[in-house]
Amino acid sequence: MGKLRFMQGNEAMTEGAIAAGARFYAGYPITPSTEVAETSAARLPRAGGLYIQMEDELGSMAALIGAVCAGKKAYTATSGPGLSLMSENLGVAVMGEIPCVVIDVQRSGPSTGMATKPAQGDVMQARWGTHGDHSVIALAPSSVQDCFDLMITAFNYAETYRTPVIFLADEIIGHLKERVMLRDPDEIRVVERTGPACAPEKYLPYDHSNGLAPLASYGGKYVFKVNGSMHDEAGRPCTSPRNADRVIRHLSEKIESHAEELTITREFRMDDAEYVVVAYGGTVRAALSAMEKARARGIRAGVLQLVTVWPAAEKEIGSAMLRAKAVIVPELNLGQYIDVIRLRNSRGIPVVGVNRVDGRPIEPADITAKIEEVSESCCRTIC
Amino acid sequence: MLQDYLLKEKMPHFWCSGCGNGIVLQSLLRNVDKQKWSRENTVVVTGIGCWGKADDYVRTNTFHGTHGRALAFATGIKLANPGLNVIALMGDGDGITIGGNHLIHAARRNADVTAIMVNNLNYGMTGGQYSGTTPKHAITKTSPYGHVEKGFDVCGVVRAAGAPFVARGTVFDVVQLNRLVELALLHRGFSFVEVISPCPTHFGRSNRMPSAPAMMQWIKDRTVPAAKAQAMSREDLCGKFVTGVFEDREQEDYSTAYQRVIDGLKGEK
């Protein structure tokens, strides 16, 4: 049945990570993600796991990666400025194909910005923060229940695709307190690392010719090389043009070719929606409220929630745009994701943003006003 | 056998003639062999730079990460599985310059990791720029008029930060180096060995020691055993490499201490 609790998003993320089998946390405290660290410090040793507070975010991300190579499921939590620092070793996790989860409870930026104010300014940092070509998976929770459930999904994605997953939360959800069902182990599906089955001398940690190569753990029966530099199938340095091309394309394609399985979306009153609000994270809550208000005024509004922010939900965004008269994209930034949506705008319908960067959350009224504005303008155009 | 730990597929190695890295690698692998550490249970973690390429030639588990972070990766590996033998190989760039913060905290934190820092007094891989250990007045590609900064006394830093085992050797005295590496491997807790090593290609050539023997002689001339150094003045020791064991004491390592916390919580929900 699970346990019904009243808790903060940040706390529920920790519970979700432990439920997913994570037993290692390395991090550096930063507002507004700190409660993830605090809850982890208290909860992990009770679960036989380990919490370590490293000297900075670079060290945190490194220790996390090391722990994964030694067989643990591991996670960390940070906020925008910390993610900037983690980006260096996030690249190692991408290149070394190390499964792990990085929680980013977004706050205002750039730089140290406003530490306690919500924002969604890391959408592009999550995608392109580390240098070089690669793909990434990012999930955005919109409720405390999401913080628990999606965290398990994040670990499952990480293990399945041997990749870091960004848990792209924001201050609204991280500090929101509401009811959450902490599900029992028999109610959740957890992907466990199986490790290779081949003879030890045959194991090649980066030979993906038969699907993704399983990741062994240091200390088992396999001896292997993990390499954050360009490497061949065995993990040895190899910079031949053919090999480099193979590896870089693989890092992107292993995720992009599974985009349909990876993209989670939620639709609210989309059946007859003429005005579609596309939203993610904490902003979804305002979008839903705005949708109801618009409906009450006779405007057919709907909401498409992007639970998976990266890779982009091509199919769902495309299909919403085929039916809609206009799309409204509320974001707590100046429009980082709106262009991703505009790219799928084959019919040339209006795609407009509702943006706030003043440290305050987007209000339902901000979105309702925009819905009304576009509906009137669309009506005028058609009449 | 030493050969069991040496990966020869990537040989000949890429280090310049006269480089000391091969001597240090041999000393390390001989000692790993002497301890009969299994390849499965041993992890060699490296940073970036000339010495950071050492993992290319090692047949144990290896981890090749980013510049300066070797100790942070090694910490995660060791704490996630305390049964592993974890060795971090760093140059002076990795160890004390870009990675200085990780080094002092690793020393304080006392995870059971062995760190072997090869100090060739400059950045060899990028072509001979100054590092955090380059001596004052030395000529490098980025101090063409003489270096205005002072280099770190790395062992002094690590010792002050609380490491329970700290030692310095040189590639000139291989007998001593072997002994220091062995003591470090056997020591439970964070152990640190600095190895003074020649870089004739860059440091030597810029400082009137373009040959390997000239650099070896230079190291030899500047080496002072710790016991002898005690009777010397601060002025006389300026620019010298004091060798020996500076710290060797028992101190509960991180994993043991944390396990006590976990055990103390058993039965509590």
State the alpha helices, DSSP H only, in A44-79: 57-69
The average pLDDT across B103-111 equals 98
Tell me the pLDDT tens digit for each residue of A254-285.
Answer: 999 999 999 999 999 999 999 999 999 999 99
Given a cut of 70, whether residue A341 has pLDDT beyond it is yes
Instruction: Note the pTM of the prediction, 2 decimals.
Output: 0.97
**Which of A235, A147, A91, A232 shows the shortest CA–CA distance to B55?**
A235
Interface predicted TM-score (ipTM) = 0.97
Contacts of B195 (CB under 8 A, 6+ apart): B20, B24, B116, B117, B118, B119, B168, B169, B170, B171, B177
Residues of B in contact with A227 (CB under 8 A): 62-64
Contact B65, A62 (CB under 8 A): yes
A177 three-state secondary structure:
strand
The answer to whether the CB atoms of A58 and B69 lie below 8 A apart is: yes
> Number of A:B CB contacts under 8 A?
141
In whole numbers, what is the pLDDT of chain A averaged over residues? 97
Contacts of A203 (CB under 8 A, 6+ apart): A196, A216, A222, A223, A224
Residues of A in contact with B81 (CB under 8 A): 70-72, 217-219
Contact B75, B87 (CB under 8 A): no
Q: What is the domain count for chain B? A: 1
Given a cut of 70, whether residue A165 has pLDDT beyond it is yes
Contact A72/B at CB under 8 A: yes
pLDDT of residue A263: 98
The average pLDDT across B165-169 equals 98
Q: Residue B161 is encoded by which pair of tokens? A: 């930060």
Residue predicted with more confidence, A382 or B162: B162
pLDDT of residue A186: 95
Distances (CA, A) of A257 to A138, A164, A306, B36: 16, 17, 18, 46
Give the pLDDT band of residue B3 (cuts 50, 70, 90): confident
pLDDT of residue B209: 95
**Mind telling me how many Å the CA of B2 is from chain A's nearest CA?**
17
The Cα–Cα gap between A265 and A48 comes to 35
Beta bridge partners of A351: A327
CB proximity under 8 Å: B 200-259 to A: 258
Give the pLDDT band of residue B268 (cuts 50, 70, 90): low
B31 three-state secondary structure:
helix
Distances (CA, A) of B243 to A140, B92, B167, B171, B230: 55, 17, 7, 11, 11
- Per the structure, the complete domain to which residue B49 belongs is given by 2-265
Contact A74/B at CB under 8 A: yes
Q: Residue A112 is encoded by which pair of tokens? A: 């140290």
Contact A228/B at CB under 8 A: yes
Residues of B in contact with A63 (CB under 8 A): 72-73, 75-76, 79
- Does A110 sit behind a cis peptide bond, omega within 30 degrees of 0 on the bond before it? yes
Q: What is the CATH number of the domain that holds B233?
A: 3.40.50.970
Phi and psi (nearest 5°) for A157?
Answer: -65, -45
Q: Which residue of chain B is at minimal alpha-carbon distance from A93?
A: B65
Q: Which residue of chain B is at minimal alpha-carbon distance from A73?
A: B80
Q: Residue A367 is encoded by which pair of tokens? A: 């979105």
Q: Which residue of chain B is at minimal alpha-carbon distance from A59?
A: B72
Q: From the CA atom positions of chain B, what is the Rg in Å?
A: 18
The answer to whether the CB atoms of A45 and B65 lie below 8 A apart is: no
